[in-house]
Amino acid sequence: MRSESQRLELRRRRGGMAGAAVLITLSLLAVAFFRLQILSGNQYALQSEENRLRAISLPAPRGTIYDRNGRVVAENVPGYVVSILPGPRDTVAATLERLADRLELSLERREDLLGRNRARPNESLVVHDDASFEQVAFIEARRPRFRRVVVEAQPQRRYPNGPPVAHIIGYVSEINERELALPRYEGYEAGRTIGKDGLEAQYEALLAGDRGVRYVEVNALGSIVREFDVGSGQPAIPGNDLQLGLDLDLQVYADSIFPEGMRGGVVALDPHTGEVVLAYSHPTFDPNRFIGGIPGDLWNALRDDPDKPMLNRVSTAAYPPGSTWKLVMSAIGMKRGHLAIDTYLQHTCRGGLSYGNRFFRCWNSAGHGGLDLSGAIKNSCNVYFYQTGQRIGLDPMLEDVQALGFGQRTGIDLPFEIAGIFPPSREWFNEQYGRRGWTESVVWNLSIGQGENQQSLLGMAQFYAALATGQSPIRPHFARDENLAGRRVDWRLDLSEARRYELVDALARVVNEPGGTAYSQRLDRWTLAGKTGTAQNPHGAPHSWFVGFAPAYDPRVVVAAVVEQGHPDGQPSLAVPLASRVVDRFLESIAAPIEERPGARPVVPPPADVVVSSPSVGSP
């Protein structure tokens, strides 16, 4: 038994221990409160604000695109974006279900959106980036059901002229996961709209602008309880405008006159600045239908259409150039000293020419008789150019064609441009056909723009620009920019002005002299110089070509046109009137000086250094 004194002592000790424990506890709490309130107060206050506030990205208006005359090619109109704030996956899925009918969200679309939510659960989910006013009104009228849904006014892209400019301007759409991983889109977030093709993609960095931010207050459940004014965030910075050398009126005109039901394209450029004033591909599509996302059925229809309306036939298609190639051969033959403008070759045209056991035909089965180079260009005589290729020889031809830039892209400011096709060397034939699988006769087909020879409209236009001006051509471009206007290619024709003038004169005969292959499409006010072409096509009727420039001796525009299967036997060539009308329309619009054309041949006197050479062996 403990005495009373012992019990009192035990109580005192226990009380002291309890007091010490309380003191220690209070000390620890004081330290914790000090750390929480003083040392980490700002951090927890910020975290609290972050939990309370949600940042909403503000899209920047894209820059407006104008044509050479200040007409709008691409602009912005008011629109709405609907998105869902981050939250539990089940909540996001339920919200999508409630929105599905009104926003026309298919099951496939909802699954895609949920997949994006799983990949980026801490980011707002863009559900619709081009909602109508009626759809927005539906959401706002039922705000208690859609507390996690954010509706933002956002400028939407619009193309006032739509289809005529589709292949050049391209279109905009929501960035995808693959694109988000690319270095050029560093800093972009899911749901952002970007240029997907054409100039919209080429000049994305210029047009896009910088997105801003605003804040909304949410409760513990993530529902919006208050929206702050715009001044509480950071405003978006609009993108820069872009002016083009494109002539929108000419673009719309080309669309209106392109042969109905046919495929092809036409391009026109200023040979002195390199500005593209027209680039039209047919058939086309409406880029306005891609805004807010491309409907699956529309995309499938465009993708599976045998006419390939999404294909830009100006920069991403190549064709055998046919007889338009004969000017390339003429320039090479002159440069190497094998031809003069009045040179007659050994064999006159009797409808064709034999090589070994093969007979190579001329388009005129009755034959052209004896022709010099100028006459062969005017009449587009195949037999003359078979012999031209033979004179030049395969290896020099391959070398000189590559030196004229035909194996490379023109460098136009459009994505996805392709280069023309032309064999770079003999080894190419060996690899394709085996050493015994081909003969030197390939030079004959190549010489008339057939065989292993395919070129783009841009590539042919660039060559004829060099022929028109006598200078290294400027790389074609759409944007009006002094730097682009100074980007010349690293090659030139390497012909004297006298020789070049003779070729220009021959091209003027093609259009303006009776018997020329384009005589029916001569112009009343201008001297159009150019070359027709009929390119054999294994899939149907021959393709129709025309490449030329005008006015012939003061060139303001170079044009190249192709109509697929546009020259059936016995029918007029469809590319020639297309190109002729485009040239006439453009020259009228810029009021170029009137050039007299009183007769078949221009009255402009030849340069003083023109020397007329004597006919060669075999002349009639």
Q: Measured between alpha carbons, how far is residue 487 from residues 243, 275, 412, 473, 602 in Å?
A: 18, 11, 11, 9, 32
pLDDT in tens, 92-118: 888 888 888 888 888 888 888 888 888
Backbone torsions φ then ψ of 359, nearest 5 degrees: -115, 115
Q: Measured between alpha carbons, how far is residue 541 from residues 220, 261, 390, 449, 536 in Å?
A: 71, 14, 28, 16, 7
pLDDT the model gives residue 147: 80
pLDDT the model gives residue 49: 47
Neighbouring C-beta atoms of residue 240, cutoff 10 Å: 14
Q: How many angstroms separate the CA atoms of 420 and 454, rounded?
A: 6
Cis bond upstream, residue 551 (ω within 30): yes
- Residues in the chain, total: 620
pLDDT the model gives residue 311: 96
pLDDT the model gives residue 220: 54
pLDDT the model gives residue 560: 98
Q: How many angstroms separate the CA atoms of 9 and 17, rounded?
A: 12
pLDDT the model gives residue 25: 80
pLDDT band at 218 (very low <50, low <70, confident <90, very high): low
pLDDT band at 614 (very low <50, low <70, confident <90, very high): very low
Residue 150 CB-density burial (10 A; 0-12 exposed, 13-18 middle, 19+ buried) = buried
Backbone torsions φ then ψ of 514, nearest 5 degrees: -50, 135
pLDDT band at 602 (very low <50, low <70, confident <90, very high): very low
pLDDT in tens, 376-397: 999 999 999 999 999 999 999 9
Q: How many angstroms separate the CA atoms of 127 and 149, rounded?
A: 9
pLDDT the model gives residue 403: 96
Mean pLDDT of 586-599: 64
Summary mean pLDDT of the chain: 87
Nearest CA to 442 out of 393, 507, 491 is that of: 393
CA angle 243, 245, 249 (to 5 degrees): 100
> Percent helix, strand, coil in the chain (nearest 5)?
40, 20, 40
Nearest CA to 575 out of 264, 251, 256 is that of: 264
Name all domains of the chain by residue range, CATH numbers in brackets.
53-78+155-244 (3.90.1310.10), 79-154 (3.30.1390.10), 248-298+309-590 (3.40.710.10)
β pairing state of 125-131 and 156-158: unpaired
Higher pLDDT, 131 or 254: 254
Higher pLDDT, 514 or 35: 514
pLDDT in tens, 145-196: 888 888 877 788 999 999 999 999 999 988 888 999 999 999 888 878 899 9
Q: What percent of the chain has pLDDT over 70?
A: 87
Mean pLDDT of 411-436: 94
CB 479 within 8 A of CB 244: yes
Residue 413 has pLDDT above 50, yes or no: yes
pLDDT the model gives residue 527: 96
pLDDT band at 612 (very low <50, low <70, confident <90, very high): very low
